[in-house]
Structure 1
């Protein structure tokens, strides 16, 4: 939304009586590495004894009240740019089943560990109408949030969507997380797929992402410049995937 993080607190749940504390140390060190990269100060934290590992950060930052990027301000004619490839939920499911090779595990981990900071800094220089990040609701779930109440519809070009290539194979093998089906059920009434869009690709578009990229709505005449700026800035996998069209139906069409 254009905010700049400044401070954070750790929130940890860990089965300390059942797992070695070295695992907890590694988790917290990973969080600290990202905080340093984001130039955020760790102020402390809270820990809870729990049977299931949980880790997160409560973050405080600053933002100019006139520069807040909401997700509800789509403009007809705007172009949509996605800054990370899709498929992390499917790949993570394959990892849990010990089906993913080490190289793929490392590559997907790097994608998930990449901050959206650089993308956010670059887009500040352009005419952005709306922005959101792609996480648990998948690409189409979060796009639906942008469309609802906007008075506009969206057309997506399925062939332009960046994907982790192996996600297609694993989706064909059935490694689709339950969350993807829940996402589809929740939003399917406002989404139409052209017949040529394979079911596998449809599943990936609903795939819940971990630390996904930004979905940016930018003025048409600046879309190519923003895309090039992101690529030159080292943002890998970025692509223009669709456009905003005028219409009160508030629908999403996947071509």
Structure 2
């Protein structure tokens, strides 16, 4: 729920091996996103290194009474996911030449999209529990949220939005190593329904780059929140509910 104020570039890029035009475009893209986020870019730091790495160190503010955490989910909340999953799968498919160009472009467009609008909508409707969905996947970040909130998440795998071409790549066997590591990490805390589609299981474990937000919305506000989110995030979907955690076993149930 924070507001970005300023940012610094953090760049690791080789003096040779990669044209400097690539670095210029990386910095241009970062600067454009800072403008979109409303932050002032104040320079940065560079290191000669390979392979290239780029990020931003961001400073911002948030009202202490309006902080959105991953520890405030309540039984009865509706689970809303703002972005489709599958960036990890499509990136892997691109590396081996199996991803269709239009599908990979859809992944790029998703990764370029900021979560700024989602943060503003959560603040407007008083959402106080959410998590990003990034490297630890939907299951990994969802598991952390469930444990911190002492609740159980009930997820419908058929409702999880996925980027175009992802299911076909999973069916082909294009599954990134990170998905297997994430699955191993969450195994003790997730109960998978018998006969669950293996591809959907791996999709839920796929590591995301610039993924969306998994938010816990009050039931009476969920429809309006969904409507507002869909104006910016076309794949936004309700994927489940929050229930009371009545036993000591798995804190996520996925059917």
Q: TM-score, normalised by structure 1?
A: 0.96
For residue 73 of structure 1, what is the aligned residue in structure 2? 72
Q: Secondary structure at the residue paired with 1:59?
A: strand
The CA distance in 1 between the partners of 2:215 and 2:177, in whole Å, is 27
1:234 aligned partner: 232
C-alpha distance in structure 1 between counterparts of 2:196 and 2:228, whole Å:
30
Conservation of the 8 A alpha-carbon contact between 2:99 and 2:169: no
Q: CA deviation at 1:189?
A: 0.8
SS in 1 for 2:83: coil
What's 2:107 paired with?
A: 108
Please tell me whether the aligned partners of residues 179 and 206 of structure 2 are also in contact (alpha carbons under 8 angstroms): yes
TM-score by length of 2: 0.96
User: Match for residue 243 of structure 2?
Assistant: 245
Q: Could you tell me how far apart the structure 2 residues matched to 1:129 and 1:191 are?
A: 24
Per-residue displacement from partner, 1:12-49 (whole Å, max 9, x unpaired)?
00111222111111111111111111121111100001
1:62-103 per-position Cα deviation (integer Å, ceiling 9, x unaligned): 110111001011101111100000011000001111222222
CA distance in structure 1 between the aligned counterparts of 2:3 and 2:108, rounded to whole angstroms: 24
| Structure 1 segment 151-166 matched on structure 2, within 5 A | 151-166=150-165
Match for residue 179 of structure 1? 178
Q: Distance in 2 between matches of 1:198 and 1:112?
A: 26
Aligned to 1:121: 120
User: Structure 1 residue 121: deviation in Å?
Assistant: 1.1
Query: Are the structure 2 counterparts of residues 196 and 225 from structure 1 closer, same or farther at C-alpha, using a change threshold of 3 Å?
Result: farther
- Distance in 1 (alpha carbons) for counterparts of 2:162 and 2:106: 13
Q: Is the 8 A contact 1:139 1:205 kept in 2?
A: yes
Q: Structure 2: where are the runs of 5+ without partners?
A: none
The alpha carbon displacement at 1:150 in A equals: 2.0
Shift of 1:143: 0.2
Residue of structure 1 equivalent to 2:40: 41
RMSD: 1.2
- Contact 2:85 / 2:161 at 8 angstroms: preserved in 1? yes
Aligned to 2:191: 192
Structure 1 contact 3–61 (Cα < 8 Å) conserved: yes
Q: 2 CA distance for matches of 1:133 and 1:179? A: 17
User: Unmatched 5+ residue regions in structure 1?
Assistant: none
Contact 1:127–1:222 (CA under 8 A) maintained in structure 2: no
- Higher mean alpha-carbon deviation, 16-25 vs 138-147, is at 16-25
Within 2, Cα distance between the matches of 1:144 and 1:243? 14
- Shift in Å, 1:105: 2.1
Q: Distance in 1 between matches of 2:20 and 2:243?
A: 53
